[in-house]
Structure 1
Amino acid sequence: MVAAPPTVVEDPTPVDGTPVLPTRVRRPLWRTAVAALGGLALFLAFPEHSLLPLAVVGPAALAVAVRGERLRSGLWLGLVFGLAFLLPLLSWTGIYVGAFPWLALSVYQSLFFAVLGGGLAVVSRSRWWPLWGAAVWVADEAVRSRWILGGFPWGRLGLSQTEGPFLSLAAYGGVPLVSFAIALTGGLLAAAVVALTGARRWTAPHGAGGRDALRGAALALAGVVAVPALGALAWLPLAGPSLTEGGPTSTVAVIQGNVPRAGLDFNAQRRAVLDNHVSTTLELADAVSRGEAAQPDMVIWPENSSDIDPYQNSDAAAAITRAAEAIGAPVLVGAVVEGPGRFISNTGIVWDPVTGPGQTYVKRHPVPLAEYIPARSFFRFFSDKVDLVTRDFTKGTRVGTLEMAGRQIGDVICFEVVYDGLVSDVVDAGAGMIVVQTNNATFGYTDESAQQLAMSRVRAVEYGRTVVVAATSGISAVVAPDGSVARQSELFTSDVFVEDIAQRDQRTVAERLDAWPEYLLTALGLGALLVPAVRRRRRTPAGPDGGGAVPA
Structure 2
Amino acid sequence: MSATITPVEAPGPDTAPTPGSRLRRFVRPGAALLSGFLLFLSFPPRPLWWLALPAFALLGWTLRGRRLRAGFGLGYLAGLGFLLPLLVWTGEEVGAGPWLALAAVEALFVAAAGLGIAAVSRLPWWPFFAAGVWILGEGARARVPFGGFPWGKVAFGQADGVFLPLAAVGGTPVLGFAVALCGFGLYEAVRRFRAYRATGTVPRGPLAAAALAVLVPVTGALAALPLVDDSAEDGTATVAAVQGNVPRLGLDFNAQRRAVLDNHVARTRELAQAVKEGREPQPDFVLWPENSSDIDPYANPDAADVIDGAVKAIGVPTVIGAVIAPETGKLRNTLIQWDPRRGPVATYDKRHVQPFGEYIPMRSFVRLFNSNVDRVSRDFGPGTKVGVFDLAGTKVGLATCYEAAFDWAVRDTVTHGAQLISVPSNNATFGRTEMTYQQLAMSRVRAVEHSRAVVVPVTSGVSAIIRPDGEIVAQTKMFTPDVLVEKVPLRSSQTPATRLGTLPEALLAALAVAGLGWAGARAVRARRTPAA
Question: Which runs of structure 2 are paired with 1:535-546 in the superposition (5 Å)?
Answer: 535-541=522-528
Q: 1:219 to 1:422 in 2, by over 3 A?
A: closer
CA distance in 1, matches of 2:76, 2:356: 23
CA distance in 2, matches of 1:447, 1:118: 30
Q: Report what 1:236 is aligned to.
A: 226
The answer to whether the aligner puts 1:362 opposite 2:349 as a matched pair is yes
The answer to whether the aligner puts 1:463 opposite 2:450 as a matched pair is yes
Q: Secondary structure at the match of 2:201?
A: helix
Q: CA deviation at 1:403?
A: 1.5
Q: CA deviation at 1:322?
A: 0.3
CA distance in 1, matches of 2:74, 2:169: 32
Q: CA deviation at 1:82?
A: 0.5
Q: CA deviation at 1:218?
A: 8.3
Deviations, residues 107-161 of structure 1 (Å, cap 9, x unaligned): 0000111101100000001010001001111111110000100000011111111
**Unmatched runs of 5 consecutive residues or more in structure 1:** 1-23, 543-548
* Large movers: runs of 4+ above 6 Å: none
Q: Report what 2:77 is aligned to.
A: 80
Q: Secondary structure at the match of 1:302?
A: coil
User: What is the percentage of aligned positions where both structures have the same residue?
Assistant: 49
Q: Secondary structure at the match of 1:236?
A: helix
Task: Name the aligned partner's letter for residue 270 of structure 1.
Answer: R
Q: Report what 1:439 is aligned to.
A: 426
The answer to whether the aligner puts 1:303 opposite 2:263 as a matched pair is no
CA contact (8 A) 2:127 2:213 kept: no
Deviations, residues 490-523 of structure 1 (Å, cap 9, x unaligned): 1000111111222210110111111100011011
Task: Name the aligned partner's letter for residue 232 of structure 1.
Answer: L
Q: Report what 2:15 is aligned to.
A: none
CA contact (8 A) 2:167 2:497 kept: yes
CA distance in 2, matches of 1:215, 1:149: 43
Task: Name the aligned partner's letter for residue 475 of structure 2.
Answer: Q
CA contact (8 A) 1:433 1:503 kept: yes
CA distance in 1, matches of 2:264, 2:54: 43
Question: Which runs of structure 2 are paired with 1:312-327 in the superposition (5 Å)?
Answer: 312-327=299-314
Q: Report what 1:106 is aligned to.
A: 103
The answer to whether the aligner puts 1:220 opposite 2:207 as a matched pair is no
CA distance in 2, matches of 1:438, 1:312: 23
Question: Which runs of structure 2 are paired with 1:122-137 in the superposition (5 Å)?
Answer: 122-137=119-134
Q: CA deviation at 1:56?
A: 1.3
Task: Name the aligned partner's letter for residue 85 of structure 2.
Answer: P
CA distance in 2, matches of 1:396, 1:67: 45
Q: Tell me whether 294-303 or 527-536 shows the greater mean CA deviation.
A: 527-536
CA contact (8 A) 1:238 1:482 kept: yes
Deviations, residues 176-201 of structure 1 (Å, cap 9, x unaligned): 0001000100110111232234456x
The answer to whether the aligner puts 1:482 opposite 2:469 as a matched pair is yes
CA distance in 2, matches of 1:239, 1:524: 30
CA distance in 2, matches of 1:521, 1:174: 12
Select 1:92's aligned residue among 89, 93, 98.
89
Select 2:272's aligned residue among 281, 285, 299.
285
Q: CA deviation at 1:267?
A: 1.1
Question: Which runs of structure 2 are paired with 1:403-422 in the superposition (5 Å)?
Answer: 403-422=390-409
Q: 1:520 to 1:214 in 2, by over 3 A?
A: closer
Q: Report what 1:8 is aligned to.
A: none
Q: Report what 2:164 is aligned to.
A: 167
Q: CA deviation at 1:537?
A: 2.6
* TM-score, reference length from structure 1: 0.89
The answer to whether the aligner puts 1:329 opposite 2:326 as a matched pair is no
CA distance in 2, matches of 1:221, 1:408: 45
CA distance in 2, matches of 1:26, 1:137: 29
CA contact (8 A) 2:463 2:476 kept: yes
Question: Which runs of structure 2 are paired with 1:328-347 in the superposition (5 Å)?
Answer: 328-339=315-326, 341-347=328-334
Q: Report what 1:64 is aligned to.
A: 61
Q: Secondary structure at the match of 1:437?
A: coil
Task: Name the aligned partner's letter for residue 369 of structure 2.
Answer: F
CA contact (8 A) 2:321 2:335 kept: yes
Q: Report what 1:196 is aligned to.
A: 193
Question: Which runs of structure 2 are paired with 1:18-33 in the superposition (5 Å)?
Answer: 27-33=24-30
Q: Report what 1:157 is aligned to.
A: 154
The answer to whether the aligner puts 1:425 opposite 2:422 as a matched pair is no
Select 1:512's aligned residue among 477, 488, 499.
499
CA distance in 1, matches of 2:236, 2:300: 35
CA distance in 2, matches of 1:340, 1:541: 67
CA contact (8 A) 1:164 1:232 kept: no
Q: Secondary structure at the match of 1:281?
A: helix
Q: CA deviation at 1:344?
A: 0.6
Select 1:45's aligned residue among 42, 45, 55.
42
CA contact (8 A) 1:255 1:302 kept: yes
CA distance in 2, matches of 1:525, 1:137: 8
CA distance in 2, matches of 1:92, 1:293: 36
Task: Name the aligned partner's letter for residue 333 of structure 1.
Answer: I
Q: CA deviation at 1:530?
A: 1.3
CA distance in 1, matches of 2:84, 2:195: 34
CA distance in 2, matches of 1:113, 1:187: 16
**Unmatched runs of 5 consecutive residues or more in structure 2:** 1-20
CA contact (8 A) 2:247 2:259 kept: yes
Q: CA deviation at 1:61?
A: 1.1
Select 2:367's aligned residue among 380, 392, 395.
380
Aligned-residue RMSD, C-alpha: 1.9
CA distance in 2, matches of 1:92, 1:460: 25
Q: CA deviation at 1:225?
A: 4.7
Q: CA deviation at 1:248?
A: 2.2
Q: 1:254 to 1:286 in 2, by over 3 A?
A: same
Q: CA deviation at 1:297?
A: 1.3
CA distance in 1, matches of 2:323, 2:300: 12
CA distance in 2, matches of 1:535, 1:52: 36
CA distance in 2, matches of 1:114, 1:210: 36
Q: CA deviation at 1:382?
A: 1.1
Q: Tell me whether 477-486 or 55-64 shows the greater mean CA deviation.
A: 55-64
Deviations, residues 425-464 of structure 1 (Å, cap 9, x unaligned): 0000000100001000000001000000000000000000
Select 2:251's aligned residue among 264, 267, 280.
264
CA distance in 2, matches of 1:218, 1:210: 17
Q: CA deviation at 1:213?
A: 6.5
Q: 1:421 to 1:395 in 2, by over 3 A?
A: same
Q: Tell me whether 34-43 or 228-237 shows the greater mean CA deviation.
A: 228-237
Task: Name the aligned partner's letter for residue 236 of structure 1.
Answer: P
CA distance in 1, matches of 2:166, 2:443: 15
Q: 1:26 to 1:350 in 2, by over 3 A?
A: same
Q: Secondary structure at the match of 1:309?
A: coil
Aligned residue pairs, count: 510
Q: Report what 2:380 is aligned to.
A: 393
Q: Tell me whether 398-407 or 70-79 shows the greater mean CA deviation.
A: 398-407
The answer to whether the aligner puts 1:211 opposite 2:201 as a matched pair is yes
Q: CA deviation at 1:525?
A: 0.4
Q: Report what 1:349 is aligned to.
A: 336
Q: Secondary structure at the match of 1:288?
A: helix
Q: CA deviation at 1:488?
A: 0.7
